Structure 1
Amino acid sequence: MMKRHFTLAFNFLAIFFISQNIAFSQDIMDLPPVNADGESVWVDIIAGDTTDTGERNNPNRIYRLERGGIYVLTSTLIANYPISIIAGGDDSERPPMIVRGKFADGVNIIPMMQLTGDGNRHVFRDIMFNGVDLNREYDAEWIRGMEFLADDMSVTFERCVFNAFTGGAIRIEGRDASLYVRDCKWRNGVWPTHMFVGQQVTLPELPVDTLIMTNNTYFNNNSFWIFQEKDLIEFAVIEHNTIFTSLIDMMRLRYSSNARIRSNLFYGTHAYGDSEEFQDITAYEPDGSPYSIISIYEVPSNILEAAGLTPFDRTIVLTHNAYFTPQPIVDYWNGNAEVTGVTWMNDRTQNLFNSSPLFFANNNVEKDPGFVDVAMDEWITGKVADFCITYRATLTPGMPLSGDAGDNRNYDEHQGVDILAGIQWPLPEDLAYSDAELLVGGHDGLPVGDLNWFPDKRAQYVEPTTIISGLSEALPNETAGYNLKQNYPNPFNENTVIAFTIPEKGLTTLTVYNMLGETVEVLVNDELQKGTYKYDFAAENMITGTYFYKLQSGDFVAVRKMNVSE
């Protein structure tokens, strides 16, 4: 059974490396890119930093790499103990770059790292992981970065860059992992002959305890940013991220128990569009539903039972996100009779939000952000559209994944980079935008998307600080004059009173649900004037147990629980 984090508070900054004071409290080993003989031995030093019996010499050892340095892998870094790698020096310099070298037999090194050991905690801060090999090749093989192959792992990435990975920058294959990622960038995960290549974060088939991703950018990739589809993510926060172009779905989170997906910017995603042949591919939508940016499924009962959950333990909060499809991609959709454009939410997903009292979708808008770097925007979206047109034109009949676009559309190559160390720093892309509404459109009044493109706003952002249950505590009960009060008396066995206040006229509903999410009674469904209201609720024919009541008025939604006693 998965660990339960309900009502467990923790400091998110502490999860991220105990960020500011770790250099003073841990044992730090400085590693140069090469030794005095010019040899790259840093992997051997880390792998050999053990006792004669295989334990770490110092379990709290931190490995510090030099900014501007190129750290070539001479073998896959394999370890069954905690690994922490950080950058030293001035953060205005390019982070240390870890690059794939070759094994002794000349074969390119894949993956970069394989880390095992149940319960280990791994931390990476200010590191650039480069999928480009020493020959500047990256689109001829399935390149995988780091594999985490154990249960109950905690993995943290902070201010890292993942460049040109085609087979998954981060892959976790262990039960009940926790992944924390902030201020990172995934870029140039492109491949001319397969749309599914370019996956970045994969948690494929096992339950995930915690997934928190804030203030990250996904830039010019083919495929999934986050991929998890066959088991449960018990708690997820996907907040203030910018997703700039993808060919297919970039966020596959079908089975989340408690998720907050807020203040993200989705631009030019799912560019390849929907078509009949892709509805026959179960990798897309197993039930044949149309393709959509947000796609959520009911969690199978056996998965819920294994986690000790019921359908009413599931909360999805989807608010203050923005999405937009740029004109070159729209023109491609409109110019191909076999293709249909992708919507924000398909009917199955919409029905879940309509029917579940703890699914909330508010203040999500379709709006062009107006990127400041117009040339970047036009080049990449034009290349994405060209990719889709050429790929579709070269398909073998009956084989919807057999095309060849003939162009890898790597943005660094477009910028003239032709040497390994030539990735510009700061990175050449700029995803700041100008739309006034989106600049204050986040759930917190900050810009929608990755706040690192607005440094002064990033400094104002408050990291998530609490993991809480998906019941009434997860949602506000009082906002800007709205107030849903606790029923009184509670518990009760005959009658109770539910009171609420609304500050303005609006369509208002007050509904009571049982633990299965089934409607017990609709107490209010009417347009009400502003004011305070009280409603009597009778427990006739109700069995002893916990129930929930939900108030919705305008964009305000609140839920509380109440108990019927004997």
Structure 2
Amino acid sequence: MESKIIFLLVLPPCILFSQGATDTLWSVPQLDGTICYRPGSGIFNMSTFSSGFSPGDGFDLILGEEVFCRDYLAFDLSSLSNSDTSSIIEIIIGIYQINAWGNDMPHTYPIWNMAGGDTHFCVLDHIDYGNSLDLGDWTAGDLGDPQTLHTNIGIISDNAVVEYKTMDVTQYIKEDIANGQIYNQYRMRFTIDTDFDGLGDLLDFRSGNSIVTKPYLAILYNDTTTITSPLQVSLNFHLKQNYPNPFNPVTTIAYMLPKTGKVELTIFDLTGSTVQTLVNGLQPGGSYEVQFDGSNLSSGVYWYRLEYERQIITKKMILIH
């Protein structure tokens, strides 16, 4: 491994250098829930105790009619460790999909038996239903409803793969913080209510009432540290973007150190859980390359973080099998 000595440069006071920090919020169990409607009889029902969400349609065998459901989830913004929106780089929502049903067949994405049925997917609406869920929130997310902040902000699932389904929701959380919202809330639904074929077309997700694989928000900050007195700071502490990216299953992470110091290079997932520590110890100044093998991991977004002499840099990488 080739290495070289890099000289330090004295910088003036009050220089800022970027760092990376992360935060994870889990959805609020008592605010996660499902509302279902039967268009034949006009009957609604609601649950906030289920361990799962099931957006889509089906057939109520007891009442003998079609039923379709919408699901609601909330995150408590007061639990954020840093609510300064200028420091937020990216926020990802993750909802774990455990099954899919198409025409009553498991492991099959919903099949809508109608013209244009293949254009209907499961989407999120950005809403505000406050500190409790009730039947009146059925239309929260519809155009014109006062509780709708943004309707159809994007597709959360378009396939039957069992995994965390993710979406970038940075814009919507920044808006909620700026507007003084206590909760960041969403409705999950299909862009069609029902196709009236008597067959189940729905997705199964974990809710905040689940013991494992709960919905989460993963927040990546660009924190800054102010240097208030003259200090020698290296311009050559650097973490490069992994290559290739996306990768399958091996990628290379390269970085540069200005002098000997304690180094830790860690891989972690969107929930903030550590996946693997690649480097942890003293290293002399120089250039380094480390390979990471994601063979045993599922496809998705991961972060890698380099810590050195109280400086931290975090970058994102994508694994695709």
Larger Rg: 1
TM over 0.5: no
Give 1 or 2: higher helix fraction. Answer: 1
If the TM-score is normalised by the length of the shorter chain, which range does it land in? 0.3 to 0.5
